[in-house]
Amino acid sequence: MPREPNLDALVCFDIYSANLAIGRLYKPLLEPLGLTYPQYLVLKVLWETDAQSLGTIGRRLGLESSTLTPLVKRLEARGLVTRLRDTGDERRVVVSLAEAGRVLEARTEGFARCLIEGTGMSVAEMEQIHRLMRKLTAGTVQQA
């Protein structure tokens, strides 16, 4: 007989599993584009605002440079982005969309619809998730 699951089990299991489930949902959509799910998220950040530094992209997605550096290099190797040192601050590397990366956005237009259909969630529920996840992430203490 299973015991009563306690609170952190609920939230941990569910967000963990939901994230993996979304990754699986996107995999067949991204395969024709030759992209992984994290690579898609990085491109999405750039489609919103082009020419951002590695650190800015990392802060947006909650990723360390040790994760982002090799990932972006793979995007560069496929000719989707360019990496250039910031002339104003030579420490920074500015990632910009190459032409091949820019035109790729058009092929992702139906993804939001697939997400709705693939999960069976309403737009209102999606927005509720958005609000709760943002609050949760923002609430986690960023130690200096």
Partner DNA sequence: TGCGATTGCATCGCGTGCGACTTATTTCTG
Partner DNA sequence: CAGAAATAAGTCGCACGCGATGCAATCGCA
Alpha carbon distance 52, 96 (integer Å): 7
CB 83 within 8 A of CB 93: yes
Task: Select the binding partner of residue 69 from a copy of itself, DNA, none (C-beta < 5 to 8 A, by kind).
Answer: DNA
Compute the least distance from the CB of residue 91 to a copy of itself, in Å. 24
What does residue 52 show for φ and ψ, rounded to 5 degrees? -115, 150
Residues that bind DNA (CB under 7 A): 20, 23-24, 27, 36-39, 53-55, 58, 62-74, 83, 88-93
Amino acid identity, position 92: R
Contact flag: residue 32 with a copy of itself (CB under 8 A): no
Closer CB to DNA, 20 or 127, in the complex: 20
CA distances from 49 to 16, 40, 60, 91, 102 (A): 28, 14, 12, 20, 11
Task: Select the binding partner of residue 84 from DNA, a copy of itself, none (C-beta < 5 to 8 A, by kind).
Answer: none
Contact flag: residue 19 with a copy of itself (CB under 8 A): yes
The one among 3, 32, 87, 90 contacting a copy of itself by CB under 8 A: 3
Closer CB to DNA, 18 or 112, in the complex: 18
Alpha carbon distance 78, 76 (integer Å): 5
